[in-house]
Amino acid sequence: MTATHSLFIGLMSGTSLDGVDGVLADFSNGAIQTLSAAFTPFPSELREELMALQAASPNELEREALAANALALVYADCVRSLLPSCPAPVTAVAVHGQTIRHRPELGFTRQTNNPALLAELTGIDVIADFRSRDIAAGGQGAPLVPAFHEAAFGKPGTARVVVNIGGIGNISVLHGDGRVTGFDTGPGNVLLDLWIARHQGRAYDEDGAWGATGTVQQPLLDALLDEPYFRQPAPKSTGRDLFHAPWLDAKLASFSDLAPADVQATLVQLTAVTIARAIGDEGVTPDAVYVCGGGAYNGALLRAIGVELGGVKVASTEELGVAPNRVEALAFAWLGWRFANREAGNLPAVTGARGPRILGALYPA
């Protein structure tokens, strides 16, 4: 692998567990250009197994290894679908892996993956394991996208906020003076998906339409907001380790009479309020808030965030030239490019690490 090449494939499979987002990106001459994008859904058995592996279960060591092998096949399919649009050999595939545990307070995070198999299947260098070095340096190992958000969306002299709403939500505050702060805000879509799957048998609430038929229930919202994570100061990060079905069910125990659509409306409000408060706590009045991740396609959620922010402009990153569902995969392609150039990928002000660190490990083709 040589640092002079600039074509990278980024692969991201996040906490929503829907599948793999891939982008082919060109970073020549300091530009950040997406050449093509692909989405490869998980086969349903793999999705179910990855979901089951989020919590302690029997024989999980062997099951995790087998899931990693199956995941590599899906990653390889996604890479193959991007190759026809490739104008020159790809320098490397940068792959996040699938988070199955995130416990920075215990000194580890685990993104299951088999990068050796992916290198074997694709014949391309693979860069993987982007989070562990930051944790080794005392950081959270997440969120990692703020450095990319600054590179792609930062505008000197203008305060902007980029919000990623995937399974979990995270904000990047681009202060406009070179400073970048950010952290995970809590649930993005994870509880919304769980609730609609349980009551409507659908994977997600298209445009927030079902939730919009319900009414926010303030006592339930207060109970949901009564969670120490929301009060914890940054640096902080979270995941399905905390925001899972048992967490929601415990909160709902005293609200069993509520209509399911009202619960959905309240969960939308929970995501909106926690994101808006997180932005407010950063002490900036941004020029605009740009949303990426699948939550950017939930109009009801974007409107609720706008109301909570008192009229600050809330737009999709599409307005800045990158489709919301491509941002995270592009961020990992960029992190791969940083690794190839032996440049740091983390922001200590965000993750709390002792210093900038080169993130990733190389599996040569």
Ligand X SMILES: CC(=O)N[C@H]1[C@@H]2OC[C@@H](O2)[C@@H](O)[C@@H]1O[C@H](C)C(=O)O
Partner in contact with 143, chosen from ligand X, ligand ATP, none, beta carbon below 5 to 8 Å by kind: ligand X
Shortest Å, Cβ 362 to ligand ATP: 23
Partner in contact with 6, chosen from ligand X, ligand ATP, none, beta carbon below 5 to 8 Å by kind: none
Identified binder of ligand ATP from the candidate list 49, 205, 227, 262, rule CB under 6 A = 205
| Per-residue x/- track, 29-58, ligand ATP (CB under 6 A) | ------------------------------
Q: Is 286 in the site for ligand ATP (CB under 6 A)?
A: no
Question: Please, which residue, 203 or 250, has the CB nearer to ligand ATP?
Answer: 203
CB 342 within 8 Å of CB 358: yes
Sequence-ordered list of residues with C-beta below 8 angstroms from that of 16, at least 6 positions apart, any chain:
166, 167, 189, 190, 193, 294
Shortest Å, Cβ 18 to ligand X: 13
Q: Is 243 in the site for ligand ATP (CB under 6 A)?
A: no
CB 2 within 8 Å of CB 52: no
Comparing every residue's Cβ against ligand X, the nearest one is 143
Partner in contact with 184, chosen from ligand X, ligand ATP, none, beta carbon below 5 to 8 Å by kind: ligand X
Shortest Å, Cβ 262 to ligand ATP: 18
Question: Please, which residue, 214 or 294, has the CB nearer to ligand X?
Answer: 294
Name the site residues for ligand X (rule: CB under 6 A).
14-15, 99, 102, 109, 142-145, 164, 166-168, 170, 184, 237, 239, 328
Identified binder of ligand ATP from the candidate list 10, 14, 182, 360, rule CB under 6 A = 14
Shortest Å, Cβ 207 to ligand ATP: 5
- Report the C-alpha gap between 172 and 154 in whole angstroms: 10
Identified binder of ligand ATP from the candidate list 294, 336, 352, 360, rule CB under 6 A = 294
Partner in contact with 10, chosen from ligand X, ligand ATP, none, beta carbon below 5 to 8 Å by kind: none
Shortest Å, Cβ 166 to ligand X: 5
- Report the C-alpha gap between 324 and 23 in whole angstroms: 12
| Total residues found in the chain within this entry | 365
Q: Which residue has the tokens 């919009």?
A: 212
The radius of gyration of the chain's CA atoms, rounded to the nearest angstrom, is 20
Question: Please, which residue, 112 or 269, has the CB nearer to ligand X?
Answer: 112
- Report the C-alpha gap between 131 and 133 in whole angstroms: 6
Binding residues vs ligand ATP (CB under 6 A): 12, 14-16, 18, 164, 166-168, 188-189, 192-193, 204-208, 293-295, 297-298, 328
